[in-house]
């Protein structure tokens, strides 16, 4: 684990004291890169299975008693990369599975960034415009959104590093632009056999040609009708769909 993962005294104080409690909007204390490292540690050792605190701490070169370890876990959960169905046990979410796949990591990072309420709020407010040029102005904006005044500098620094790592600053650090994603890397579903008596119609059940490949990829992920699908996983699928809409479509021009 590198020095970036070690929680500063400010982070520890904010996590355990009243400063964080006064923040009314969610945000991580470590940037996206550190959250991805935890997801990669889980995937590299147990794949899509579960692990416990002791295992995850060892794989990331930390102690279970380390405040930095706890902050990193919290950050990974806020980005939507890991989940804990039982206390002290962790596994990857669907988004976490995407982010450890090199062919899907770019899209996953863009979606993970928007999972953070503070980051999504800033993105929506300044979409199509430019961010405040001064750090102090951006920090005041964050305080207005619900960040505690005592941790506004940490919130801004982590936001800027996460935006850089997620690709939102590719067109300059004064504006947030959703990263472009080429295509979804899903294997195409097998085409059904041609009905007896002659085909016709829309091509024998193929995906409509006008559907964006990103949406097609999400549709492929849908489980068969009548199967068991946990509510948490359904909600994540819907969030991925919503994020894909933001990536694909433009808002109506105001006025």
pLDDT at 52: 94
Instruction: Please give the torsion angle defined by the CA atoms of residues 25, 166, 217 and 116, in that order, rounded to the nearest 10 degrees.
Output: 0
pLDDT at 177: 92
pLDDT at 9 over 90: no
pLDDT at 128: 84
pLDDT at 19 over 50: no
pLDDT band at 255 (very low <50, low <70, confident <90, very high): low
pLDDT at 18: 47
* Tens of pLDDT, residues 213-244: 677 667 777 777 777 777 767 777 787 777 77
> Does residue 16 or residue 248 have the better pLDDT?
248
pTM: 0.66
Q: What is the mean pLDDT of residues 108-128?
A: 94
pLDDT at 147: 95
> Rounded to an integer, what distance in angstroms lies between the CA atom of residue 181 and that of residue 169?
15
Q: What does the buried/exposed string (b/e) look like for 62-97 if buried means 16 or more CB atoms within 10 Å of the residue's CB?
A: beeebbbbbbbbbbbbbbbbbbeeeeeebbbbbbbb
pLDDT at 183 over 50: no
> Does residue 182 or residue 138 have the better pLDDT?
138
> Does residue 255 or residue 186 have the better pLDDT?
255
Q: What is the mean pLDDT of residues 88-99?
A: 94
């Amino acid at each position: 684990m590198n020095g970036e993962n070690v929680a500063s005294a400010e982070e520890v104080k904010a996590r355990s004291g009243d400063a964080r409690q006064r923040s009314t909007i969610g945000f991580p204390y470590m940037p996206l890169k550190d959250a991805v490292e935890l997801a990669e540690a889980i995937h590299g050792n147990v794949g899509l299975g579960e692990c416990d605190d002791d295992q995850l701490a060892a794989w990331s070169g930390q102690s279970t008693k380390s405040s930095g370890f706890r902050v990193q876990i919290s950050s990974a959960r806020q980005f939507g990369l890991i989940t804990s169905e039982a206390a002290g046990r962790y596994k990857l979410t669907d988004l976490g599975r995407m982010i450890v796949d090199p062919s899907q990591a770019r899209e996953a990072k863009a979606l993970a960034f928007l999972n953070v309420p503070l980051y999504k709020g800033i993105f929506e407010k300044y979409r199509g415009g430019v961010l405040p040029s001064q750090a102090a102005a951006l920090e005041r904006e964050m305080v207005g959104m619900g960040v505690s005044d005592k941790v506004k500098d940490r919130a801004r620094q982590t936001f800027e590093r996460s935006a850089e790592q997620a690709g939102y600053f590719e067109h300059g650090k004064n504006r947030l632009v959703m990263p472009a994603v080429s295509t979804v890397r899903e294997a195409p579903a097998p085409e059904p056999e041609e009905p007896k008596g002659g085909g016709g119609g829309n091509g024998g059940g193929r995906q409509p040609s006008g559907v964006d490949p990103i949406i097609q990829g999400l549709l492929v992920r849908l489980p068969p009708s009548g199967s068991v699908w946990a509510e948490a996983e359904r909600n994540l699928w819907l969030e991925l769909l919503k994020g894909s809409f933001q990536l694909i479509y433009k808002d109506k021009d105001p006025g």
